[in-house]
Structure 1
């Protein structure tokens, strides 16, 4: 376990720049739920995400990144993502330790903080139909827009394989 301070949005932007990945970020009031974030839709085009930080009984952790209005069946999703058992939500301590974020800020960009590769990142097939994907840049007071293919490149550059699977109903 590595104990370094979590990376910030600025660290994320520098990392994306180093990969020559185009990104646009819009600052806004903190949003904790999909319902709160829906007011931003007209201002920010693309696929908006909901992220679930889950774990199985063997303490394998996953971030499921899906379209914001999609539903994930937590009773069956383990069969799709390769978990050893049904999944439950990961606790805030592990969320901070592995992703460097607090509840309400879970994001695919947390891969930047998962330097030990403890988390598997799953991108929903339906979400990946959008050319632009939006997610929190490690805090929920901004939204970062990035190209779909660049999101996959970002994950690979952090040492993670982007699993694109059908995890929504």
Structure 2
């Protein structure tokens, strides 16, 4: 699927920037190893409801701490928790450390609900791993909208509740 993503980027994304870097698994590692580039750096969480019936890809600015209990109430979902690596692989076709909006390319069944913090949706461009954590793509807002149309995912744009510091 990575080939499919890169073909889509070349043909439909419009202006984007791609940088290669050492593997990063956390925001702290990304801050060290990802070269300066345009776009909002984001944090991606793959969570599920208590019964495992609903799955969410939640994307917020990299420095935002999320109140999962409040987010669950906002989404009218039962208690939210981090989904297992097995669920991540099953639903988004990737492993921990590579989670990004581009993984929605694997969700043809549209079983994953996309939740974007309003700051992410409002950004001129956002950064995302292209299905591997050894590269980062900066994609314009227009490119993001085209990608979501391509995958058929309609984002739920909300103010994701922040956890108390």
SS in 1 for 2:22: coil
Give 2:86's match in structure 1, choosing from 89, 93, 96.
93
**Unmatched tracts of structure 2, length 5 or more:** none
Give the C-alpha shift of residue 40 in structure 1: 4.8
Whole-angstrom CA distance in 1 between matches of 2:143 and 2:132: 20
Q: Distance in 1 between matches of 2:96 and 2:134?
A: 13
- The separation in 2 between residues aligned to 1:97 and 1:151, in whole angstroms, is 23
SS at match of 2:41: strand
- Which of 47, 52, 58 aligns to 1:54? It is 47
User: C-alpha displacement at 1:72, in angstroms?
Assistant: 0.8
How many residues matched?
161
State whether structure 2 residue 14 is matched by structure 1 residue 21.
Answer: yes
Structure 2 counterpart of 1:75, from 69, 92, 115: 69
Within 5 Å, which residues of 2 pair with 1:31-46? 31-40=24-33, 43-46=36-39
RMSD over aligned CA atoms reads 1.6
Shift of residue 129 of structure 1? Answer: 3.0
Q: Deviations over 1:19-78 (max 9, x none)?
A: 353322101000000001112566212200110000002420000011101111011101
What is the TM-score normalised by the length of structure 2? 0.90
1:111 counterpart SS class? helix
Counterpart for residue 102 of structure 1: 95
- CA distance in 2: counterparts of 1:119 and 1:83, whole angstroms: 15
Cα deviation, residue 79, structure 1:
2.2
- Counterpart-to-counterpart distance in 1, 2:143 and 2:116: 13
Give yes or no for contact 1:70–1:168 (8 Å, CA) kept in 2.
Answer: no
Between the aligned partners of 1:72 and 1:101, the Cα distance in structure 2 is: 22
Q: 1:85 to 1:32 in 2, by over 3 A?
A: same
